Copies of this chain bind each other. A is one copy, B any other.
Amino acid sequence: MELDTSPLAVPFPDLPPIAGVTPRIARAGYKDWGRCDLTYVELAEGTAVAGVFTQNICCSSEVELGREQARAGRARALVVNAGNSNAFTGYRGREAVEQIAAQVADHLGCPQGEVFVSSTGVIGVPLPKDKAREGVAAALNAEPCSWKDAANTIGTTDTFAKGAIARAVVGGKTVTLAGIIKGSGMIAPDMATMLGYIFTDAAVEPGFLQQALSAANARTFSCITVDSDTSTSDTVLAFATGAAGNQRIEGASCPGADAFAAALEDVCRQLAHLVVRDGEGAQKFIAITVTGAASDESARRIGLAVANSPLVKTAIAGEDANWGRVVMAVGKAGEPADRDRLSIGFGGVWAAREGLPLADYDEAPVAEHLKGREVTIEVDLGLGDGRATVWTCDLTHGYISINADYRS
């Protein structure tokens, strides 16, 4: 099945090379795709790494191993297999991951634990070891490729290549952060999501890199959802080569630490939005801002309850300002709320305030707003200072077609 490009697609940005990072691609042939499906990224010696991973209990061996490896904080290479997630494949799956790591470690002369492996695609089929061995061998000897080629190669049902860039000045030196990511179904991150990779030439201690990534993740990847389903393979890794030559960021109080963390969060937010923009069947990009909640976390949970409601998502698909469905979703979130203080709006126009529909509610500007590609929903709880913004897409016939009408 050939998917049309999402109407919410944006062009791939101009991503420069990152010193100390060399991407290459090859074709392992995991699926009958006429394109590359194996990505290999070589990293300079001394590269720091941090990661966030799916909380799904039935996670893949890749996630289990990656979580362990990230704790040690050092990386020399990344391999991403597309077309087979290798999840729920028991000891056979684990053997395939270890074979790949060993093959790359041999090539680079580095510890096996510094080679990170991710896989994405169908669940329950052990990654074929012969195809993996030949694919890795081809990638090791391939010419370096562009970021866009790498972004396309890690994709599965993605309809466009996704990349993001940010810069920060750290102690007088400019550092660059480049990220690539893939979606685009089974997206409901629970602390981490999907396969996303961020590369920077900044010099950063792994401990601070992890701290900054976890904080950014909480406000970006953990605030998006496409279909409420949390993947077994979700992984976001950040690699910092140090080649920019800035004074190493050792902790939050170092010069430039705030700027770096802000740039990292910027890249994470861009990448998270791109995943929503390529949500299966998406026709509209929806931002839901919740204010006046008991806490920020409560606001996020309420936002996600709205974002995951099939009735809210289909209403937006139908360009229907059905704020009653938003009320319902707020009420089922299991978070503090008071019906008689609740206000709901679309595109900045309140439809209901403090538990009552507005007598002079003018639906015309709201109807106009809902016709656009970018929709906002505002929810005010009237209880406290907690706030959060979450992002999702609408639920359309396209989602059903992709997931029911065609076999994977």
Which A residues contact B (CB, under 8 angstroms)? 55-59, 85, 87-90, 92, 122-125, 185-186, 188, 190, 227-232, 308-311, 314-315, 317-318, 320, 322-325, 327-333, 337-340, 342, 352, 355-357, 394-397, 399-401, 403-408
Contacts and interface: CB of A to CB of B under 8 A. Distances in A.
A379 to B, nearest CB: 11
Contacts of A339: 57-59, 88
Contacts of A333: 57
Contacts of A124: 323-324, 327, 352, 357
A172 B125 CA distance: 60
B328 A231 contact: yes
A368 to B, nearest CB: 16
Contacts of A125: 357
Given A188-B332, A227-B310, A327-B58, A406 B318 contact: yes
B328 A123 contact: yes
Contacts of A399: 310, 314, 400
A66 to B, nearest CB: 16
A21 to B, nearest CB: 32
B395 A309 contact: no
Contact of A229 (B58, B232, B310, B394): B310
Nearest to A91: B356
A229 B331 CA distance: 10
Given A57-B339, A320-B407, A331-B59, A185 B227 contact: no
Given A124-B323, A396-B404, A311 B227 contact: yes
